[in-house]
Amino acid sequence: VRDETGLLLVGAGHAHLHVVAHAAELRAAGYRVRLLAPRWFDYSGVASATATGALPADAGRIDVRALAAGHGVELVEDTLVGIDTVARVATTADGAALAYDLVSLNVGSVAATHDIEVDDEVVRVKPLAGLGALATRLAAHPGATVTVVGGGSSGLELAAHLAVTRGVTRVRLVEAGPVLGPDLPGGARRSVTRLLARRGVEVHLGTPVRRLAGDHLLLGDGRRLDHDLAVLATGLVASPLLARLGLGDADGVPVTATLQHPDHPEMLAAGDCAHFLPQPLARIGVHGVRQGPVLLAGLLARAHGEPAPSYTPQRRALAVLDLGAGIGLAVRGRWWWRGRTAFLLKRRIDRRWLRRYRSPTPSGAA
């Protein structure tokens, strides 16, 4: 009888959802697969729509418990709070100790605060469980003035959505830099800026925020702007838990092209919580999605004593922003398209991806 290799997957992020859906292959290769994660996964592709009430709150939700059960994976419905990399034991919030031979981390990111002093009442774009509170807060504040801080992709999406959300009177978008959407092609940037202007969004560029409170913000120059609700969308950093546990820093857990920690070969990481050493990667879901098959193939290769494959990021991935009211902005490299078809394309991609993990098949063929 062959000894089993204990594989502990921490976090049900995009990459791990793929691995869980293929657990049968891992079992056949000699792994005992356990997943440490909360029951629900929220998908960011529809997050702006669900957070503003344009879609029902559960439109992007995946039942991780059902997925794990459907693929014979033991789920520990909890979160990671500690890890002993020498003894190879992970600790959960409830105090359980989980021994492992191999551990893989896919715990995502949180909203970056940079050097802004941010109060607890402020809604953060990530984790998405926190962003979900926005819809409830909006319902409790009819006629609200909402400030979104940060003019990157998620800030643009949220400001554009809020501007067409019933019950929101005024939307303010505050950005420290000189332009909105600095990563977008120039034409796309101008197109979104025009759309926001048409929807009445008040845009403040070159305006660094010093303090962001539930009912007001203070600018670097001392000015105060009042609001009823505020959303922090100033970029994403790896979950701070990783730095606390000594596994990495705000960039994440360092990994080589095979998604392995360079000093701890028994540790892997994927998605937003990984710091991909070969080249900088944007914190976008597409990397987690595409790293899933690489992670799985690496685990299978390891079991068969073969070299693990490398992750090669696509040079120009397609990204589609949901700008609300049925309008999307599709971008790939310097190419871009704004309109209804971009929105429909996004919804089709989202639906197809969600369907994979909402109807688990015991064969593991996701």
Positions touching ligand FAD (CB under 6 A) are 10-15, 36-38, 41, 44-45, 47-48, 79-80, 106-109, 125-126, 154, 157, 239, 241, 271-273, 283-286, 288, 319
Which CB, 36 or 112, lies closer to ligand FAD?
36
| Overall size of the chain counted in residues | 366
Least distance to ligand FAD from the beta carbon of 322, Å? 7
d(CA 52, CA 136): 9
Which CB, 38 or 208, lies closer to ligand FAD?
38
What is the residue whose two structure tokens read 């551990």? 103
Q: Which two tokens stand for residue 182?
A: 């600095």
What are the DSSP calls for 88-153, one per residue?
Answer: TEEEETT--EEE-SEEEE---EEE--TT-EE-TTSEESSSHHHHTHHHHHHHHSTTEEEEEE--SH
Contact 364, 21 (CB under 8 A): yes
Least distance to ligand FAD from the beta carbon of 306, Å? 26
Which CB, 26 or 323, lies closer to ligand FAD?
323
Which CB, 2 or 279, lies closer to ligand FAD?
279
Which CB, 8 or 195, lies closer to ligand FAD?
8
d(CA 323, CA 225): 25
Least distance to ligand FAD from the beta carbon of 111, Å? 7
Least distance to ligand FAD from the beta carbon of 2, Å? 29
Q: Are strands 5-10 and 102-105 parallel, antiparallel or unpaired?
A: parallel
Q: By three-state DSSP, how is residue 30 classified?
A: coil
Which CB, 90 or 195, lies closer to ligand FAD?
90
- Please state, in angstroms and as integers, the Cα–Cα distance from residue 301 to each residue in 29, 81, 307, following that order: 9, 30, 6
Q: Are strands 328-332 and 335-339 parallel, antiparallel or unpaired?
A: antiparallel
Least distance to ligand FAD from the beta carbon of 15, Å? 6
Least distance to ligand FAD from the beta carbon of 289, Å? 8
Q: By three-state DSSP, how is residue 43 classified?
A: coil
Q: Are strands 31-37 and 74-77 parallel, antiparallel or unpaired?
A: parallel
Which CB, 65 or 216, lies closer to ligand FAD?
65
Least distance to ligand FAD from the beta carbon of 157, Å? 6
